[in-house]
Amino acid sequence: MTTEERLPCGTRLEALLAQVAEGEPAADPAHQASCPYCQAALRRLERHWADVQALAREPVTVPEGLTARIMARVHALAEQVSDSVILGARRGETRVEHRAIRRYVQRLAAGAPGVAFASAQLQPPDTARPHRVDVALRLVIVFGPPAARVANGVREILARRIPRFTGAELGQVDITVADVAER
């Protein structure tokens, strides 16, 4: 079988293959309907092509644990550039990495009423105030409640919980509403 192959009736095999694989219409339907060579070739191509299509329909399952392995590597790469806040303590200092605080902020914001998705960034640490964090949030909010009310609700939750959970002082909370999602 080659690209240039022609049937004894002169029909190019390429045209028949395009018909079978791409669903293109026959170039000469009247000829095809009455030509035994075309019909035999079509039957042959359709039978084999059906096997390719059957393989395409076979479900492929992603192996268990693959996502966890991918994310372990990503987290390792992300850790290489990690800031932290420093909390005063009587017997030594406690460092809480921005990554950990960002995760608290993101989870709390994502769970706030009216929020469909939250992404949090912490501003680079201020060496003069090493226990303070400034946060920038991007939210996708659900359709319905006013954006300002949702944003204020997020600020209240963060102000209440971030110091309690992390020990860090919460400074600025800048919020961008990036999109609105359907409920």
Partner 1 sequence: MSGQVDDAILVEAAQEGDTDAFEALVRRHRNAVYRVALRMLGSPADAQDVTQETFTRAWRALRSFRRESSVNTWLYRIVTRRCLDVIAARTPAAEDLATLELRARESGPAESVERGERLRAVTVAISRLPGDQRAALVLREFEGLSYQQLAGVLGITVPAVKGRIHRARLAVLEQMEAWE
- The pattern of x and - marking residues 153 through 182 that bind partner 1 according to CB under 8 A reads -------------------------xx-xx
Asked if 137 and 154 count as a contact pair (C-beta separation under 8 A), the reply is yes
Residue-wise over 154-182: b if at least 16 C-beta within 10 A, else e? Answer: bbebbeeebeebbbbebeebebeeeeeee
By beta-carbon proximity to partner 1, the closer residue of 35 and 105 is: 105
**d(C-alpha 85, C-alpha 148), whole Å:** 29
Q: CA-to-CA distance for 13 and 86, rounded, in angstroms?
A: 73
Contact track, partner 1, 71-110, x by CB under 8 A: x-xxx-xx--x-----------------x--xx--x---x
Query: Residue 50 corresponds to which tokens in the numbers above?
Result: 């059906």
Give 16 or 170: the residue with its C-beta nearer to partner 1.
Answer: 16
Any contact of residue 37 with partner 1 (CB under 8 A)? Answer: no
Distance between CA atoms of residues 148 and 158, nearest Å:
15
Three-state SS at 68? helix
Exactly one of 6, 10, 14, 34 binds partner 1 (CB under 8 A); that residue is 14
| 45 lies in the site for partner 1, by CB under 8 A | yes
Residues engaged in binding partner 1 (CB under 8 A): 1-3, 13-14, 17-18, 21, 44-45, 48-49, 51-56, 58, 60, 62-63, 66-67, 69-71, 73-75, 77-78, 81, 99, 102-103, 106, 110, 116-117, 119-121, 138, 140, 178-179, 181-182
